[in-house]
Amino acid sequence: MSRGAIEVVMVERNRTVFRALQESTLKLACTNVLLRCEDGLKFAHHKNGLFDVIFLDPPFQSDYLPKLLPLLVDQLTQDGLVYVESGEVFEPDPAWQVVRHAKSGTVHYQLLRCEGALEHD
């Protein structure tokens, strides 16, 4: 949002965190933020439009990443990227190219591009 995004969609399942996001959005008068109190995996199962960047920060002990990535291929723009955070090194399936990866403290993060996303108009 601070980098000039036209629209930001935030999906958070935890109601306490969701309420804090709502309060922050109101305080900052962010009119371009859509908040959804929903499980991210459920959200990804729906057609939500196309995104330039998708940030994934699921609970580190969950098995969400391998379940989410296949659902996101059709939700990325042609040059779309997925930023992933995890507690361990995450190995995406071969359809995903690791553009960049690093570690900060105990957090591993990667920037991924999917070859299948290139087929969008």
Predicted TM-score (pTM) of the model is 0.85
pLDDT of residue 2: 61
pLDDT of residue 120: 45
d(C-alpha 83, C-alpha 106), whole Å: 16
d(C-alpha 46, C-alpha 29), whole Å: 28
CATH superfamily of 50-119: Vaccinia Virus protein VP39 (3.40.50.150)
Which parts of the chain are beta strand (E)? 8-11, 33-36, 51-56, 76-86, 96-104, 107-114
pLDDT of residue 39: 92
Domain spans of the chain? Answer: 1-38, 50-119
Per-residue pLDDT of the chain in tens (121 residues, 90 and over written 9): 666 788 999 999 999 999 999 999 999 998 899 999 999 999 999 988 899 999 998 877 788 899 999 999 999 999 999 999 999 889 998 999 999 999 999 999 999 999 765 454 4
